[in-house]
Structure 1
Amino acid sequence: MFFESTQCRIPTMIAPLTHLGDMPIEEFLRDYWQKKPLLIRNAFPGFESPIAPDELAGLALEEEVESRIVLENGATPWELRNGPFDEDTFAKLPEKRWTLLVQAVDQWVPEVNQLLDYFRFIPNWRLDDLMISYAPDQGGVGPHFDYYDVFLLQGLGKRHWKIGQVCDNNSPRVEGTRLKILSEFHTTDEWVLEPGDMLYIPPGIAHWGNAVGDDCMTYSIGFRAPSHADILSEIGQEVALNIADDLRYSDPDLKRQSNPGEIGPEAIAQLQHIIQQHLTPETIAHWFGKYMTERKYLEQTDEEPLEIDADDWQAALADGQLLWRHPAARLAFHSDKNGTFLFADGEAINCSRELAELVCAETEISWVQIKPFVQEPFDVAALSQLINQETLLIDE
């Protein structure tokens, strides 16, 4: 699926927002980001939803699309159903108090994907995806909080939002549901949002939205926020793969202890030294770049990809074709004393900083932009890898 990429090309990249309403982005980042909620009236003036409710429901029928339905009064309180669904499922839903949620709509609809560009005032590697929810009157997913930042853009209809208390892992939850519904909610603010209005919610802030009338669609722009547990677990596994087995704990200056059962401060210092020896800034950057650019949803295909060599893609670009970024691609780069690594869909690729900046900044790349890099073998190799792993696609 993925945009039917051989048939369709996404629009040119949009510049990130410089203001949220009348507020400069710099003020937002200083005073609100990860600190407190913000209501932005008319954040997108004249906003029209690029996808209709029926089209969203159509996506939820697809095997490769992650979708859910939440019924406030289902077989259990706040019943959760996982897709893919069929048309009969929608026909049997009640008139009120349910919600359809479709994850990563940006990977399936070009105009939705384009919306993410407005939010690239936050680093690319922090952006996660764009989820869209649809609800009839009074539909919602209950009072809850998230562990990540989210912008809630009203796309169609109206939604009544309540903002509540600061929450954490110990906040009491409703029993008997797979959803993490809060059993207590203390309203601090509330508003009704209409198309183009947007609400920013930092991590840990309780919020509760319900549709006002039918055909309510809300766009949720979420951000990646790996847990400390995931960071330590994942980097440990990555680093361990590159450590020789003959590197072992050692204590050549061992001294006799008064009690053989004690783990002394010298042993702890040695362990700390071992950890710091392997967790260097370069190692951390290399792992983090790959980890944060891994695709959340992988395209399933039975076809063996055709290898495109450097001569072929250079000839295609020189003939007027373009390179364009796959809509699901994730890109970032890091430079240090050892050079620059471009991180693309979980891979680390050595290249020039100039090429990394170009690939991360542009949605479409022409031959004029690429031509200066074809004289450098390692940049040519980097571009060939990007094309063959389908981070960059050749536009026919």
Structure 2
Amino acid sequence: MLSLRTFDTARFLADIWQKRPLLIRGAWDDWTNPLEPEALAGLACEAEIESRLVQQPGPNRWELEHGPIAPERFGALGDCPWTLLVQSVDHHVAEVAALIESFRFIPDWRIDDVMVSYAVDGGGVGPHFDQYDVFLVQGLGRRRWRVGPRCDDTARLLPHDGLRLLADFEPVKDWVLEPGDMLYLPPGFAHEGVAVGDGCMTYSIGFRAPSRGDLVSAWADHMLDRLDEDDRYTDVDLNPGADPGEISTAALARLHDMAVGALADRAAFATWFGAYITAPKDERLDWAPEEQISAADLGSGAAGPLRLERNPAIRFSFIRQNAGEVTLFAAGRTYACNGPAAAVAQRICADARFALDPEVTSARPLPT
């Protein structure tokens, strides 16, 4: 078993990543739980934050309730095992966002969010499988994880409107995780986590895996908005056909090129994808600062020392262009940067906080 103290990322990516589960005992030397249960419950009460409450009133029975959760609801749950799950906690709690730093050997654009769960004794969400990679970090208490073989969409599911629960679950691994332990699960592996005792908190660092269908649909929708209505099929070289009911090979080739060619611009796809993958997950949240600082303010030094800190809810990525040029993507927006600005753009993507040389900023400030 590996520890993050001596974690060999190259070995992990070559031998483990998307291939098989891995248990890491004592992943941190001095693990400290970054969020109190009461604070998690408070987040679940907010209308702008996605949360779920899962109860298990009986064997093979699960009830799902979507948030926001009323504060008095927690006191009325009784003895029934239950689990609270809150999405994107890293967007709201800096100490939770800091967990992601340990996993940045995987490209940032692949990182989705940190979901945090709290469960009482016996609480869980049932046996299931996910279509993404996840690191499950035990924060408080103990949780028993049972892991089965890899599944696919042919797996038989229990009837439930909101939970994809496996009807046939045959675990092959069985571990109880203590605070600071971590379990990595690749996509598709069946698993079930059950709290052992009260006060169980788990941090799930999940990774994005766009489906082919979602990617094609979003890219096609983007291009449809930019197509000229006058760009239509033509056949100025049309010749008489032997059979008027036939769609000729030449016509099919021309039509196929019209459809596929519009989507084949790799440079346009790259620019679109950078904006697409960094777009905010939830438009209901407004992360604009109370005081706006312009590029001119930064360049003149009027804003004071240039100590920058990224908002953990904003996604940043960049694509290299020609020598000394990059395209920066932030919260779904696109910025062309070259020279000193390109260096700043890469620094923003690399570091959560840093001090910036005013001379670099004044040479070419980033657009705002």
TM-score by length of 2: 0.91
1:78-128 deviation per Cα after TM superposition (whole angstroms, max 9, x unaligned): 111011111221011133421000111111111111111111111111111
2:313 matches 1:325: no
2:331 matches 1:345: yes
2:122 match: 138
1:361 pairs with one of 320, 343, 350: 350
Gaps of 5+ in 2: none
1:241-292 deviation per Cα after TM superposition (whole angstroms, max 9, x unaligned): 2232222223333344444343343333223433235422201111110111
1:169 match: 153
Whole-Å Cα distance in 1 between the matches of residues 241 and 279 of structure 2?
48
1:64 match: 48
Aligned 8 A contact 2:148 2:191 in 1: yes
- Map 1:205-216 to 2 at 5 A: 205-216=189-200
Aligned 8 A contact 1:21 1:40 in 2: no
2:68 match: 84
Aligned 8 A contact 1:149 1:222 in 2: yes
* Bigger mean CA deviation after superposition, 318-327 or 94-103: 318-327
1:217 pairs with one of 198, 201, 221: 201
2:285 matches 1:296: no
1:228 pairs with one of 209, 212, 215: 212
Q: Secondary structure at the match of 2:314?
A: coil
1:138-168 deviation per Cα after TM superposition (whole angstroms, max 9, x unaligned): 1000000111111000111111101112212
Q: Secondary structure at the match of 1:374?
A: helix
1:254 match: 238
Gaps of 5+ in 1: 1-17, 386-396
Provide the identity percentage.
44
> How many residues of Structure 1 are paired with residues of Structure 2 in the alignment?
361
Counterpart amino acid of residue 208 in structure 1: E
Counterpart amino acid of residue 375 in structure 1: A
Aligned 8 A contact 1:77 1:176 in 2: no
Question: Closer, same or farther in 2 for the Cα pair 1:279/1:41, shift >3 Å?
Answer: same
Counterpart amino acid of residue 326 in structure 2: T
2:229 pairs with one of 233, 245, 250: 245
Question: Closer, same or farther in 2 for the Cα pair 1:321/1:350, shift >3 Å?
Answer: closer
> Aligned-residue CA RMSD in angstroms?
2.4
- Map 1:13-92 to 2 at 5 A: 20=4, 22-73=6-57, 77-92=61-76
2:321 match: 336
